[in-house]
Amino acid sequence: MRLAVVGPTYPFRGGIAQYSTMLVYHLRAAGHTTFFYSFTRQYPTWLFPGRSDRDPSRTALRVDCEYLLDPMNPLTWWRLVRRVRADQPDLLLLQWWVPYWTPSLTVISSLLKRPPATKIAMICHNVLPHDGGGVIDRRLAMTVLRRADALIVHSDPDRYRARALLPQARIVKAFLPTYEPVSKEAKAAMTAALRDQWQMPDQRRILLFFGFVRPYKGLEYLIQALAQVRHQLDVHLLVVGEIWGSQAYYERYAAEFGVADAITFINRYVPNEELPAIFSAADVVVLPYISATQSAVVQLAFGFGKPVITTNVGGLPEVVKDGMTGLIVPPQDATALAQAIVRYFQDDLATCLAARVQAEAAERAESWPRLVRIITDLARELNEK
């Protein structure tokens, strides 16, 4: 089967770049002729809230691709359309996650729907943005998504949102595949442990908050919970990820709750080489999200064999099995979060939960081939119509 994918990949960083790369890798491994078109640029510097959208990893996942698309340059949209026309895929996979992509994806998909029409499926990482979801966001999402022949989502909440926006759409749900390939690549390139460099205490239990720090991820509630946990346990919080905002704000927030000395901030994007040291140092990964669809951080944690304490939002409870691979608490409830952390250590759940995470490794390894089958079945269905 001939398949085409549009999305970021190395040298761009982040979960969706890794997702695109692994998707193409597994499509090709399954024997499909797969064309991969990536970006010459993702965001203009003035618009991107982080320091850089480039991946500093020396061992980043890579696959062959053509760098064709600049969302700020309409001439490249037409160049991509001509390339897709020439390659004649049975299905083109576009990816959607923020309204920024509306102009380029709308034009590209509209041109490709002209006869002879190309079948298009849009992979929706977020049907609506984490920090949005208002009328404008919904209209922009509808503008793009209605041009697809089918939508692929990775959680029930996104399936519900997509159905509410487009009642007649063909919607297929597939669980977010594992990010264990990133874990394995990082383990293979593991350098010296960085614990001493970070000046982390050796004897304390370590809680890990990992990933970009944005308001919807609820770090404030974890800081509040930490203050309660410290009355019962000697724990230390490691916050690893670029802060999209002010680190000083979180430091002052921690000082208000008397836990400033119990938190280490690593305020930067972490390359793959450092992931093993980070996750091996952690006793548990804590993700106190206020809202979510799904989280690649969960899959990354599982890839390192770490249980996850998280909140009952979005698709997280579909992935983290309460009492089996982690613990689930209500969102925006610092007391419930603190109780879960204390229970995790005092009831000695670490060993049994980690064992279950390891036991499900084979099932997670099958998640990419399962997604490939979903995509190819969808391509056959659409082309039979």
- Predicted confidence (pLDDT) per residue in 263-288, tens digit: 999 999 888 888 888 888 899 999 99
Pairing of strands 205-210, 33-39: unpaired
| Predicted pLDDT at 198 | 53
Q: How many residues does the chain have?
A: 385
On average, the pLDDT of the chain sits at 89
H helical segments located in the chain: 15-29, 74-87, 102-112, 135-145, 156-165, 180-188, 195-198, 219-229, 247-256, 275-281, 296-303, 316-319, 334-346, 349-359, 361-365, 367-384
CA 286 to CA 310: how far, in whole Å? Answer: 6
* Residue 245: CB atoms within 10 Å: 12
| Predicted pLDDT at 314 | 86
Write out the two tokens for 262.
């119990």
- Residue whose structure tokens are 């064309």: 35
6-40 burial, b for 16+ CB within 10 Å, e for fewer? bbbbbbbbbbbbbbbbbbbbbbbebebebbbbbbe
How do residues 300-345 score in pLDDT, each as one tens digit? Answer: 899 888 999 999 998 899 889 999 999 999 999 999 999 999 999 9
Q: What percent of the chain has pLDDT over 70?
A: 91
Confidence of residue 55 (pLDDT cuts 50, 70, 90): confident
Confidence of residue 261 (pLDDT cuts 50, 70, 90): very high
Confidence of residue 243 (pLDDT cuts 50, 70, 90): very high
Sign of torsion over alpha carbons 312, 316, 318, 323: negative
How do residues 118-167 score in pLDDT, each as one tens digit? Answer: 999 999 999 998 766 689 999 999 999 999 999 999 989 899 999 999 99
- Given a contact cutoff of 8 angstroms between Cβ atoms, the answer to whether 76 and 106 are in contact is no
CA dihedral 172, 173, 175, 176 (to 10 degrees): 70
- Residue whose structure tokens are 């972490």: 270
| Predicted pLDDT at 30 | 96
